[in-house]
Amino acid sequence: MKEREKTIDGIKFAVTAFPAVEAFRLKSYLLRKFGPAIGQALGTLDGGLPASGKIGDVKLDGGKMAQAIETLMVQLDEDEYITFLQRMLRNVQARVGKTLFVFTEEHFETSLDNVFGEKTFTVYPVLLLVLEANYPDFFGKMGLGIGKRIQGMLTSEKGAEESGKESQASGTSES
């Protein structure tokens, strides 16, 4: 199984992909649980989809991301959220200085406290890294049709917003 590594907020993370059965189960869970917020989360992309096709290279609009996270979190109570993190982070290792933390069931809380205790929002790019490790072709496959349409919509929305501003400034409106 391939491993993805990335340094985020000064912490080196290594993610190993899930076995195929768990990857399929997780994908089903994510779509069922978070489907309503996926469109909103895609709206957080600043500048559209990344040319690299890697989820970890996505540039996010912070304000929109906060709204998307809020929408996502409505789907989980606090205990479900911790269970979700355990599931997502179970194949993650984090190196903080010289100390290696693993997110096994036995060490989960200690690792979570030591890795994310003072950097709680760092967990979100790490979750994106987990998705990239498990679904590396996500944006690439979307690029065959859906991704281009989504990117077009995002570009169109930006253009429509600017066009709407220009129309308002000139006193005209589009129908």
Contact 105, 86 (CB under 8 A): yes
Whether residue 137 has pLDDT greater than 70: no
Across residues 17-45, what is the average pLDDT? Answer: 77
The two three-digit tokens of residue 122, written as one number: 């760092």
Whether residue 109 has pLDDT greater than 50: yes
Residue 171 lies in a domain: no
Domain count within the chain = 1
Report the 10 Å Cβ neighbour count for 97: 8
Residue 111 lies in a domain: yes
Residue 174 lies in a domain: no
What is the pTM (predicted TM-score) of this model?
Answer: 0.64
SS3 171: coil
Domain holding 150, by residue range, is 3-165
Contact 122, 116 (CB under 8 A): yes
Single out the residue of 97, 83, 130 nearest to residue 11, CA to CA.
97
Mean residue pLDDT across the chain: 73
Decide which of 24 and 2 is more confident. 24
Whether residue 26 has pLDDT greater than 70: yes
Per-residue model confidence (pLDDT) at position 50: 55
Residue 172 lies in a domain: no
